[in-house]
Amino acid sequence: MSLKITSNSLVDRDFINRGLERDKFDNKTVSFEEHIKSEHNMWHYLYFLVLVKVKDPTEYTGPESYVAQMIVEKNLDWFPRMRAMSLVSNEGDNEQNEIRNLQEKLESTMSLVKQLSGQLAELKEQMTEQRKNKQRLGFLGSNTPHVNHHMPPH
């Protein structure tokens, strides 16, 4: 029973940030799966920890120095707690959503313009055909002998 709970817990919770559950990502631009795969990928964290352990401290970057010091102090504050970049509702996210919405509207508008252009081309073709038919009828009408119903007086 506890194995099943643990298994479900791994599927529905962020391994790195145990407090973040799947439902926190409902209605967000990033799915829970994308979050686990990119933002809080446990293998990336493991790789980083190993890197900090095996790398020469004189060659550390700023973030590596910071995390190495936190590890020495047994301080886990460098791990995200109840945070994820995709959950932050800031102006940038709203701007991205607005851009995405505008792109969708633009694509829809372009599709309608294409459709209307096709219909306009069809109408032009039909009008040209009608003009040609009228000209033919007019031409045929002028070639038929004109019968003069008014007889000149003798």
Q: What is the pLDDT of residues 16-42, one digit of tens each?
A: 444 445 455 455 555 566 656 656 567
3-state secondary structure of 42: helix
Give residue limits of the domains in the chain: 1-88, 91-141
- pLDDT at res. 47: 84
pLDDT digits 0-9 by tens, 63-119: 999 989 998 999 888 776 655 656 655 445 667 778 888 888 888 888 888 999 999
Residues near 68 by beta carbon (within 8 Å), at least 6 away in sequence: 52, 57, 60
The chain-wide mean pLDDT, for the chain, equals 72
CB atoms within 10 A of CB 20: 24
pLDDT digits 0-9 by tens, 57-76: 999 999 999 989 998 999 88
pLDDT at 153 exceeding the cut of 70: no
Across 6-19, average pLDDT: 45
Q: Higher model confidence: residue 39 or residue 1? A: 39
Question: How far from each other are the two terminal CA atoms of the chain, in whole angstroms?
Answer: 124
Across 5-19, average pLDDT: 45
